[in-house]
Structure 1
């Protein structure tokens, strides 16, 4: 639970110890249960059933093979909006799959591609610093953008899905990704970024942070941030807001006072039910009012 409490040098990741190349696929499926580094699930953990849904793993064709993803959508009907769900640093573990089911219950085709599959299986890593330095630091932003594009193409090919109603939601690492993908793909109608880093991750394979593209953003993104987050400083959010005002995106940042990073993660000690419930309403309204 120490993620965010001290800075890491993302520009100088640790050497790989397993001898695998970056392009080698390290797993062929999304892991079951909760990631080891996330710790034991708290009593507040929310579990959403699959009644009335089609839910499970699918494979997404990409340039260099296939990546796994978890997809949930209503079992009956058509014209479902497409919602990309972007993982935390813990991968597409049970919490992210449950988020997909929650949105599927609300009529979405929600899909979470495994973003780290080429760099490592984070589900079995017990140490958060190891995940950050040996996996997260090695995931190129360009790769992430391509994989999300491929996911849209795959899910948008389903007869029951309306990919013109495209949205994206992400958490932690995925929150940063939301800002970047909204800039990359102007076809996105709306995005929601939960406590995503807005600066501090630049490296050769991560050339720009959200604050660098905010002024050029055209897609409306709602940023949901924690007032007691030690990693995402108020100065960074102020800079992000200043840049967003230069854009015509209509993006907005909300800071929840007194809550910590991960306030939506119901399986972790940082979970705050009141903040999470209100944030969920804000997110749902934001997407719906913008056509997703």
Structure 2
């Protein structure tokens, strides 16, 4: 077993392993409780699932959650899963397990780990201050490290995709413009425009023409934070991209329609979006 793995079989500093494993296993973030009864429970039967550590720039170790089918031969097609603003909590871990049950190595890195643990913030306003302190440059560099780690630990570098939700959906667009070696990307209700800042100098609309990866965008027609106008602008901007792209809008769905643990969950849109994501991956060789 690779020494990047965290758990009873992994060597290394015990206190750090316990800290990271505890954070990853902490369930749902405080800011999203109580959890709705619609939550889909995906177990880890038949999977190798749990916490890992990924070496990143500056000598730090990036905590992540990974899930993959057990007892498989050869490298696996890989999906990098980018968290919502709430971090790699139970819902994002379940997304990884669902992908693993479809035959993928799925890995979700904790992309705020240098700034703080989003599970410890009971109020969304407090959490947003944490989120806004995380530089895009740091996030994109950590995703590079995650892709490289996956290739060293059972993943197939030639067949790697990325997906992300909400905050992570925005990051998916940015990373698709950064890493042309990806086979495919799926962005779930990620913000497309916004005001530039030191930490977020560019938005998806700014980099649309640079996209070289097939990207599928999944959006809700009732989303109060992502306007129909911005989606139309993105479609226009993507015409200059040298890649196949598509944006699907579910008219009756709002923001976070795949988040089965929240009132925003829209079962019809979520199920259709999930199947379209898997089809997009297969279509583009992941």
Please indicate, yes or no, whether the TM-score normalized by the shorter chain is above 0.5: yes
Task: Tell me what 1:285 maps to.
Answer: 279
Task: Tell me what 1:87 maps to.
Answer: 83
CA contact (8 A) 1:176 1:197 kept: yes
Larger helix proportion of the pair: 2
How far apart are 1:27 and its partner, in Å? 9.9
Specify which of 56, 66, 69 is matched with residue 71 of structure 1: 66
Task: Tell me what 2:31 maps to.
Answer: 37
Task: Tell me what 2:44 maps to.
Answer: 50
- Is the alpha carbon distance of 1:119 and 1:131 closer, same or farther for their aligned partners in structure 2, counting shifts above 3 Å? same
Specify which of 235, 239, 249 is matched with residue 233 of structure 2: 239
Following superposition of structure 1 onto structure 2, how do residues 170-189 of structure 1 map, counting pairs within 5 Å? Answer: 170-189=164-183
Deviations 1:241-287, CA, capped at 9 Å, x for gaps: 00001112111110000211011000000101111000011100001
Q: Is residue 97 of structure 1 aligned with residue 93 of structure 2?
A: yes
Separation (CA, whole Å) in 2 of partners of 1:257 and 1:172: 17
CA contact (8 A) 1:28 1:67 kept: no
Secondary structure of the 2:79 match is strand
Specify which of 257, 261, 270 is matched with residue 276 of structure 1: 270
Separation (CA, whole Å) in 2 of partners of 1:274 and 1:291: 26
Q: Is residue 148 of structure 1 aligned with residue 143 of structure 2?
A: yes
How far apart are 1:79 and its partner, in Å? 2.6
Task: Tell me what 1:138 maps to.
Answer: 133
- Is the alpha carbon distance of 1:201 and 1:40 closer, same or farther for their aligned partners in structure 2, counting shifts above 3 Å? farther
Q: Which stretch shows the higher mean deviation, 43-52 or 201-210? A: 201-210
How far apart are 1:26 and its partner, in Å? 10
Separation (CA, whole Å) in 2 of partners of 1:26 and 1:37: 20
Structure 1 alignment gaps of length 5 or more: 1-24
CA contact (8 A) 2:85 2:166 kept: yes
Deviations 1:226-255, CA, capped at 9 Å, x for gaps: 000010011111110000011121111100
Deviations 1:32-65, CA, capped at 9 Å, x for gaps: 1100101211111011111110000000101121
- Is the alpha carbon distance of 1:88 and 1:143 closer, same or farther for their aligned partners in structure 2, counting shifts above 3 Å? same
Separation (CA, whole Å) in 1 of partners of 2:32 and 2:39: 12
Secondary structure of the 2:24 match is coil
RMSD value, Cα: 1.5
| TM-score normalized with structure 2 length | 0.90
CA contact (8 A) 2:21 2:51 kept: no
CA contact (8 A) 2:36 2:261 kept: yes
Task: Tell me what 2:200 maps to.
Answer: 206
CA contact (8 A) 2:20 2:51 kept: no
Task: Tell me what 1:59 maps to.
Answer: 53
- Is the alpha carbon distance of 1:255 and 1:149 closer, same or farther for their aligned partners in structure 2, counting shifts above 3 Å? same
